[in-house]
Amino acid sequence: MESDALSGRNEKLPTGRLHAAQYILALVLTILLVGLWRLQVLNTDSFRVLAEANRIRKVPVLAPRGKIFDREGRLIVDNYPSVSCFLLREQMQNAAVDLPMIANGLHIPLDQLQATVKRFQHAPKYEPIPVKEDITPDEQAFIEAHRNELPELETLDEQRRLYPPGGFAAHMIGYVGEVSEEMLNDPQYAEYEPGDVVGRSGIEKTYDAILRGRNGSRDVVVDSHGREIGHLGETPAVPGHDLRLTIDLDLQKVAEQALQGHNGAIVAMDPHTGEVLAMVSRPTFDPNAFSVRIKRDEWNQILNDPNHPLLNKAIQAQLAPGSTFKIIMSAAGLQENIAENLHVFCNGGGTYYGQYHKCDARHGDVDINHAIPWSCDTYFYTLADKLGIETIAKYATEFGLGQKTGIDLPEEATGIVPSEEWKMRNYHEKWYAGETISVGIGQGPVTVTPIQLARALSGIASGGVMRRPHLVFADEIPDEQKDEYADMFPGSGEKTVPLDPANWETITDGMAAATMPGGTAAASHMEGIDFAGKTGTAQTVSHDAAAKLGLHGSLTNAWFVGMTPRRNPDIVVVALWEGGAWGKDSAALVAAVVNAYVTKQRKAAGNLVVEPPKPAATDTTSVVPQGEAKPQTGPQSTASLQPAGVQKTAGTL
């Protein structure tokens, strides 16, 4: 070995090979340097963006939605604290493993969770995906316990909507929900982002722009485990505006109670201003149950309910007005100088164009002064015949039927005012004079909505002054949004329909007589209150058709339009009782609301005069202080409107 070793002594490495080694060294380091140049100099901008996306996390700061109050500042819709869970995709390492775990821990169906994640696939990665709202303490504990395995889960404290329980005023107020895919594709919702809460119906929808506010965000610096290690800046959330409605909670409660157990609607309105004081629709739904996390079958159940609980019948039910239409007939007849001297002998009915039309009674000799309180069909058959359908249509249209009233609620229905042109357009047939006879008593093709009827009769009782019904005071709308809202609800608007003072007196006296002994609504006579009104009983299904459906007798809707005082009324109330036998049944509902109104006005005024002073409708807070208003409502204070579990939020009032 020693000799072997010695043999190599004094040998030198060939210089050429060492030169080659130098070149290899230079080449390798040059390649590395070029690689560094490419990353650090040529592409540094894109890597900088990635580095920032790594460490900066945008945490949304949700804007609290504006609360909703009644005209006296009493709380109707509140917010309550709730915890939502979000998914941060940047933190998610393996969707196939994590999603089933999340679905299990948060009690969400896996397919639903996957669909949610898929919906966001084109949104920027840093944008959090709302996974579940209003999570339970158990679910919150699950998220806390799995911080390491599921760093992508983030919780967020927010404010949720708290509606009155039992579907109180649900149709009018509406509800909120997550903005839908279709809405996001609609330019109208350009400034909404996936996951945003948006008003889906009622006031919540109409005034969403005022109520919603604007979400802010907080830029926090995090490490790779999602731990917050600092924060950069904050765009504060802009809270939504509170909204004061024209609704009077006291009247709303009375109306809600009056209609309890029935299907139908009640609308109470101040004819001087068009302010809606109460609006009820039945059956109702509980917006608390499904504005947050409605289950699919629950939702289907509501959608498929034959009674259409989501329908706001006050503005969407289009039904034959029955005898309430006789007020419009009277106005037309009197203005056309036909009714003034018209005397009809009622023998329980009459034959017109070969068809017998019956009346409810044998009224004998009837003139306009008796025709209204007695609601004599025979008289109005004759009047209709003399006026003709075109004149009837002209007046009905003048008084706002067959078109939207322009109330500030979404999806108002128009109803139908039949005319020759209408028949030709829809049925391609000529109008037969015989059809006019039924229209005279509010039957046949004529249909109205309760709000239309309230407005039309308000206008007639106010000497022809027509107001646009509305639920929100004009001064509640911020100046910059006034124009937008002014154009949002085209309807027949505010106008004055010519009405001769003598005719006005005749009609209003006739309606007052209807609630006096001998009138059709005598049962709802209230001593000391100048109560006027008109009943209506509209057949929806005839005897023959009902028999085919296996029902006995006919199906009717009971209407009543009531007001006080009879001329220039301070309140007009319309009640629709679907399936009610007679108009006088509805009259009792209206009487309850009117009585509550009058009682309240008198208490506020501190005396018991027969003619109550006109309330300062737009500023009742000063006239009716909170302290005085409360004893009337008794145990049903605002707080009692809220669900039991979250009373602490409502109780702060």
Q: Is 648 helix (H, G, I), strand (E, B) or coil?
A: helix
| Nearest to another protein of 4, 111 (CB atom) | 4
Report, in Å, the least distance between residue 28 CB and another protein. Answer: 5
Q: Which amino acid is at 497?
A: V
* CA torsion, ordered 327, 332, 334, 339, to nearest 10 deg: -80
| 9 binding another protein? (CB under 8 A) | yes
| 149 binding another protein? (CB under 8 A) | no
Report, in Å, the least distance between residue 195 CB and another protein. Answer: 25
How far apart CA 300 and CA 158 sit, in angstroms, is 28
| Nearest to another protein of 223, 411 (CB atom) | 223
Q: Which residues contact 529 (CB under 8 A, 6 or more apart)?
A: 564, 594, 595, 598, 610
* Sites for another protein among residues 36-55 (CB under 8 A): 36-37, 39-41, 43-44, 46-48, 50-52, 54-55
The H or E element that residue 507 is part of is: helix 501-514
Tokens found for residue 235: 């765009």
| Nearest to another protein of 15, 121 (CB atom) | 15
Report, in Å, the least distance between residue 26 CB and another protein. Answer: 7
| 229 binding another protein? (CB under 8 A) | yes
Which of the stretches 4-12, 196-204, 459-467, 606-614 binds another protein when contact is defined by CB under 8 A? 4-12
Report, in Å, the least distance between residue 16 CB and another protein. Answer: 11
Contact assessment for residue 417 and residue 391, using Cβ atoms and an 8 Å cutoff: no
| DSSP codes joined into one string, 57-123 | EEEEEPPPPPPEE-TTS-EEEEEEEEEEEEE-GGG-S-HHHHHHHHHHHHT--HHHHHHHHHHTTTS
| DSSP codes joined into one string, 432-482 | PHHHHHHHTTT-TT-BB-HHHHHHHHHHHHTTTEE---BSB-GGGS-HHHH
| 15 binding another protein? (CB under 8 A) | yes
Question: Residue 384 CB: number of other CB atoms within 10 A?
Answer: 28
Which of the stretches 33-41, 180-188, 547-555, 561-569 binds another protein when contact is defined by CB under 8 A? 33-41
| Nearest to another protein of 100, 478 (CB atom) | 100
Q: How many residues bind another protein (CB under 8 A)?
A: 47
Report, in Å, the least distance between residue 151 CB and another protein. Answer: 12
Q: Is 411 helix (H, G, I), strand (E, B) or coil?
A: coil
Tokens found for residue 74: 């009493």
| Nearest to another protein of 3, 341 (CB atom) | 3
Report, in Å, the least distance between residue 143 CB and another protein. Answer: 21
| Nearest to another protein of 46, 347 (CB atom) | 46
| 16 binding another protein? (CB under 8 A) | no
Of 138, 193, 223, 619, the one binding another protein (CB under 8 A) is 223
| 33 binding another protein? (CB under 8 A) | yes
Q: Which residues contact 235 (CB under 8 A, 6 or more apart)?
A: 61, 216, 217, 218
Residue 123's nearest CA partner among 96, 86, 150, 97 is: 86
| 416 binding another protein? (CB under 8 A) | no
| Nearest to another protein of 52, 421 (CB atom) | 52
Residue 368's nearest CA partner among 326, 347, 340, 395 is: 340
Strand 68-69 vs strand 243-244: parallel, antiparallel, or unpaired? parallel
Report, in Å, the least distance between residue 2 CB and another protein. Answer: 8
Q: Is the peptide bond before 283 cis (omega within 30 degrees of 0)?
A: yes
| 93 binding another protein? (CB under 8 A) | yes
| 365 binding another protein? (CB under 8 A) | no
How far apart CA 624 and CA 615 sit, in angstroms, is 9
| 8 binding another protein? (CB under 8 A) | yes
Report, in Å, the least distance between residue 125 CB and another protein. Answer: 12
Contact assessment for residue 343 and residue 298, using Cβ atoms and an 8 Å cutoff: no
| 222 binding another protein? (CB under 8 A) | yes
| 17 binding another protein? (CB under 8 A) | yes
Tokens found for residue 207: 């005034």
Of 123, 156, 221, 555, the one binding another protein (CB under 8 A) is 221
Report, in Å, the least distance between residue 11 CB and another protein. Answer: 4
| 12 binding another protein? (CB under 8 A) | yes
| 5 binding another protein? (CB under 8 A) | yes
Report, in Å, the least distance between residue 105 CB and another protein. Answer: 20
Q: Which residues contact 602 (CB under 8 A, 6 or more apart)?
A: 608, 609, 612
Tokens found for residue 54: 């790594």
Helices and strands in the chain, H and E counts: 27, 21
| 20 binding another protein? (CB under 8 A) | yes
| Nearest to another protein of 11, 487 (CB atom) | 11
Report, in Å, the least distance between residue 99 CB and another protein. Answer: 15
| Nearest to another protein of 55, 602 (CB atom) | 55
For residue 533, the cross-strand partners are 562
Report, in Å, the least distance between residue 88 CB and another protein. Answer: 15
| 428 binding another protein? (CB under 8 A) | no
Report, in Å, the least distance between residue 57 CB and another protein. Answer: 11
Convert 261-316 into a string of H (helix), E (strand) and C (coil). CCEEEEEEEECCCCEEEEEEEECCCCHHHHCCCCCHHHHHHHHHCCCCCCCCHHHH
Which of the stretches 21-29, 357-365, 528-536, 582-590 binds another protein when contact is defined by CB under 8 A? 21-29
- Burial of 450 by CB count in 10 Å (0-12 exposed, 13-18 middle, 19+ buried)? buried
| 13 binding another protein? (CB under 8 A) | yes
Q: Looking at the chain, how many residues does it have?
A: 653
Report, in Å, the least distance between residue 38 CB and another protein. Answer: 8
* Sites for another protein among residues 49-88 (CB under 8 A): 50-52, 54-55
Taking CB under 8 A as the rule, which mask of x and - marks residues 165-204 in contact with another protein? ----------------------------------------
Tokens found for residue 50: 């990635």
Report, in Å, the least distance between residue 154 CB and another protein. Answer: 17
Of 121, 224, 607, 652, the one binding another protein (CB under 8 A) is 224
| Nearest to another protein of 39, 516 (CB atom) | 39
Of 107, 214, 225, 343, the one binding another protein (CB under 8 A) is 225
| Nearest to another protein of 54, 397 (CB atom) | 54
Backbone dihedral angles phi then psi of residue 532, each to the nearest 5 degrees: -130, 155
Backbone dihedral angles phi then psi of residue 60, each to the nearest 5 degrees: -65, 140
Q: Which residues contact 125 (CB under 8 A, 6 or more apart)?
A: 53, 89, 90
| Positions that interact with another protein (CB under 8 A) | 4-5, 7-13, 15, 17-18, 20-22, 24-26, 28-29, 31-33, 35-37, 39-41, 43-44, 46-48, 50-52, 54-55, 93-94, 221-225, 229
